[in-house]
C-alpha cells in the first residue's frame, strides 16, 4: 500500500529553518518561521500563561472528556474577546479546534457540506496553508488581487475589481488583521466597501484572525471582524490563540459561525460539533483552559494584556527603526510602508534572486516571497538588515 504514496512537497519554511541551523556565520539573522521572538531571540511563555497553568495544575480534579464543542467557558470567553458585543451570543455557534489551522479546516469543511459548489476567493498572496487545505479538500479557489508590490500597500482597486466576479454562495476569505504574508491591511473605509460588495453578491465572508493584539491593539484589531459580523447575514470566523497567548504547541483555536437568523443556531452548532466528532472527536483542552482561566480572571487578564501590549509595541518599534534606517541609507521614502504594515510580517516586495542574495551574501533568512518576520529582529540587527537590503540593490 505505502509504495503507492507520492512524495509530498517539502515545507519551504521548515527547509529554511534547517538551512539557518546549518549556517555557521555568527551574524546570521532568522526572519523565517512565524513565531514571536523577543530581543534575545526567545519565544517566552507569557507570565499569565504560567500562572494559569500553575492554577490548573493545583485545582484541576479531572481530565475526563469535555464536550464536542470544547469547554463552554472557553467558547464564551473567546467569542467575547473576538466579537465583543457586536452580535448576540445566541447568534454565534462555536467550537474549540486544534489551533487556528483546525478552525480554518473545519470552516472549509462546513462550507463544502453546506454548498459543495462554493468557490472560495482568497487574497493573492495568502497564508500558503489556506491554499493547500483547499486543494486537499478539492474546493475551487479564485484568487483576488491584494498586494501592490510597487507601494507595499493593498491593491484595493484590483481587489474590488476581482470581487466583482463574486456569485451568490461564494465565500470570501479575509484576514481579520495583520495580513500574512504581506503585513498590508485594509482600512475601515475599505472594509465597508468590501462588505458592500459581498452583500450585494450574496457571498459569505470567512475571516481568519490569527494575530489579534499584534497590530493596533486587542480592540482595534477586532474592529473589522466585528463590523463584518454585525453587517452580514452570515459569516465564519476562525480564531487562533497561538500568537496572542504564545501557546503555539498547545493547539488552541475557535471556529465561530455567526447568523443573524437565530433559528439557524441549533443546526449550525450541531454541524460544527459533528465535524469535530468526525475529525478528532473532542478538541484539545489544556490551551483552551489556560485561555479561559486568563480571560475570566481580572488580574491574569490585565497582566496578559500588558505583556501582549509590550510584544506589540516592540514589533512596532522595530518596524519604525527599520523604516527610518532604510530612509537614511536610501535617501528615499520607498521603504516607508514597513512602518505602515502591521503584525509580525512584512513583505519586502523584492525578487526571489534578491532574497537568495540576502541569504548567500549576508546570512539573512527570509521566506522566498520576501516575507520577513519582524520579531526575528532586534535593535542591533535592524541596521545590519537595512544595510544588507541596500547593498543587495533592493
Catalytic residues: 127, 208, 210, 243
What values do phi and psi take at 143, rounded to 5?
-95, 145
E strands present in the chain? 29-30, 92-97, 119-124, 140-145, 147-148, 153-154, 171-175, 204-209, 234-240, 253-259, 345-347, 364-365, 371-373
CA 288 to chain centre: 18
101, 276, 293, 373: which one binds ligand PMP (CB under 6 A): 101
What values do phi and psi take at 95, rounded to 5?
-135, 145
30, 148, 208, 325: which one binds ligand PMP (CB under 6 A): 208
If binding is defined by CB under 6 A, does position 244 make contact with ligand PMP?
no
If binding is defined by CB under 6 A, does position 240 make contact with ligand PMP?
yes
- CA distances 137 to 68, 72, 257, 336, 344, Å, are 22, 29, 20, 39, 29
Least Å distance, CB 239 to ligand PMP, is 9
If binding is defined by CB under 6 A, does position 97 make contact with ligand PMP?
no
Which of the stretches 68-76, 80-88, 94-102, 146-154 binds ligand PMP when contact is defined by CB under 6 A?
A: 94-102
If binding is defined by CB under 6 A, does position 248 make contact with ligand PMP?
yes
Least Å distance, CB 222 to ligand PMP, is 15
Separation of alpha carbons 235 and 91, rounded Å: 11
If binding is defined by CB under 6 A, does position 99 make contact with ligand PMP?
yes
If binding is defined by CB under 6 A, does position 221 make contact with ligand PMP?
no
20, 108, 121, 127: which one binds ligand PMP (CB under 6 A): 127
Nine-digit cell at 270?
A: 450541531
Nearer to ligand PMP, 162 or 250 (CB): 250
Which of the stretches 97-105, 263-271, 297-305, 311-319 binds ligand PMP when contact is defined by CB under 6 A?
A: 97-105
Nearer to ligand PMP, 34 or 363 (CB): 34
32, 70, 75, 100: which one binds ligand PMP (CB under 6 A): 100
210, 256, 288, 355: which one binds ligand PMP (CB under 6 A): 210
Least Å distance, CB 180 to ligand PMP, is 4
Separation of alpha carbons 252 and 97, rounded Å: 6
If binding is defined by CB under 6 A, does position 242 make contact with ligand PMP?
yes
Q: Hey, CA dihedral for 9, 13, 14, 17, is it positive or negative?
A: positive
Q: Please work out, in degrees rounded to the nearest 5, the angle formed at the alpha carbon of residue 249 by the alpha carbons of 36 and 102.
A: 105
388, 359 Cβ separation under 8 angstroms: no
Beta partners for residue 143, in sequence order: 122
Least Å distance, CB 332 to ligand PMP, is 31
Window 250 to 279, contacts with ligand PMP (CB under 6 A): 253
Nearer to ligand PMP, 242 or 392 (CB): 242
Least Å distance, CB 199 to ligand PMP, is 24
Judged by CB under 6 A, the number of residues near ligand PMP is 14
Alpha helices in 23-127 (DSSP H): 47-59, 72-83, 99-114
Separation of alpha carbons 328 and 325, rounded Å: 5
Task: Say whether 85 sits in a helix, a strand or coil.
Answer: coil
If binding is defined by CB under 6 A, does position 185 make contact with ligand PMP?
no
If binding is defined by CB under 6 A, does position 180 make contact with ligand PMP?
yes
**Residue ranges binding ligand PMP (CB under 6 A):** 34, 99-101, 104, 127, 175, 180, 208, 210, 240, 242, 248, 253
Amino acid at each position: 500500500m505505502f509504495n503507492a504514496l507520492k512524495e509530498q512537497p517539502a515545507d519551504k519554511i521548515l527547509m529554511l529553518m534547517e538551512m539557518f541551523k546549518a549556517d555557521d556565520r555568527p551574524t546570521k539573522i532568522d526572519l523565517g518561521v512565524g513565531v514571536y521572538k523577543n530581543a534575545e531571540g526567545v519565544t517566552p511563555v507569557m507570565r499569565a500563561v504560567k500562572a494559569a497553568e500553575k492554577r490548573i495544575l493545583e485545582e484541576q480534579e479531572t481530565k475526563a472528556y469535555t464536550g464536542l464543542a470544547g469547554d463552554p467557558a472557553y467558547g464564551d470567553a473567546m467569542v467575547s474577546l473576538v466579537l465583543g458585543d457586536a452580535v448576540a451570543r445566541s447568534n454565534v455557534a462555536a467550537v474549540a479546534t486544534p489551533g487556528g489551522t483546525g478552525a480554518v479546516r473545519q470552516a472549509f469543511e462546513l462550507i463544502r457540506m453546506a454548498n459543495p459548489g462554493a468557490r472560495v476567493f482568497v487574497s493573492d498572496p495568502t497564508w500558503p496553508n489556506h491554499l493547500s487545505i483547499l486543494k486537499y479538500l478539492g474546493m475551487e479557489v479564485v484568487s483576488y488581487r491584494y498586494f501592490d508590490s510597487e507601494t507595499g500597500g493593498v491593491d484595493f482597486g484590483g481587489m474590488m475589481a476581482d470581487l466583482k466576479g463574486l456569485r451568490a454562495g461564494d465565500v470570501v476569505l479575509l484576514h481579520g488583521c495583520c495580513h500574512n504574508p504581506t503585513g498590508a491591511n485594509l482600512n475601515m473605509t475599505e472594509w465597508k466597501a468590501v462588505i458592500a460588495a459581498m452583500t450585494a453578491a450574496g457571498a459569505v465572508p470567512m475571516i481568519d484572525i490569527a494575530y489579534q493584539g499584534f497590530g493596533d491593539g486587542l480592540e482595534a484589531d477586532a474592529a473589522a471582524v466585528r463590523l463584518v459580523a454585525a453587517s452580514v447575514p452570515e459569516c465564519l470566523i476562525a480564531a487562533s490563540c497561538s500568537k496572542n497567548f504564545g501557546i503555539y504547541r498547545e493547539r488552541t483555536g475557535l471556529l465561530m459561525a455567526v447568523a443573524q437568523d437565530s433559528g439557524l443556531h441549533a443546526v449550525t452548532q450541531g454541524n460544527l460539533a459533528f465535524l469535530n466528532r468526525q475529525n478528532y472527536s473532542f478538541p484539545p483542552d489544556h490551551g483552551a483552559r489556560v485561555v479561559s482561566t486568563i480571560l475570566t480572571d481580572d488580574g491574569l487578564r490585565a497582566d496578559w494584556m500588558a505583556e501582549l501590549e509590550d510584544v506589540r509595541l516592540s514589533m512596532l518599534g522595530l518596524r519604525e527603526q527599520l523604516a527610518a534606517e532604510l530612509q537614511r541609507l536610501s535617501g528615499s521614502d520607498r521603504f516607508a510602508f514597513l512602518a505602515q504594515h502591521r503584525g509580525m510580517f512584512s513583505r519586502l516586495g523584492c525578487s526571489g534572486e534578491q532574497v537568495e542574495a540576502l541569504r548567500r551574501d549576508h546570512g539573512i533568512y527570509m521566506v522566498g516571497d520576501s516575507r520577513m518576520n519582524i520579531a526575528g529582529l532586534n535593535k542591533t540587527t535592524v541596521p545590519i538588515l537595512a544595510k544588507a537590503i541596500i547593498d543587495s540593490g533592493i
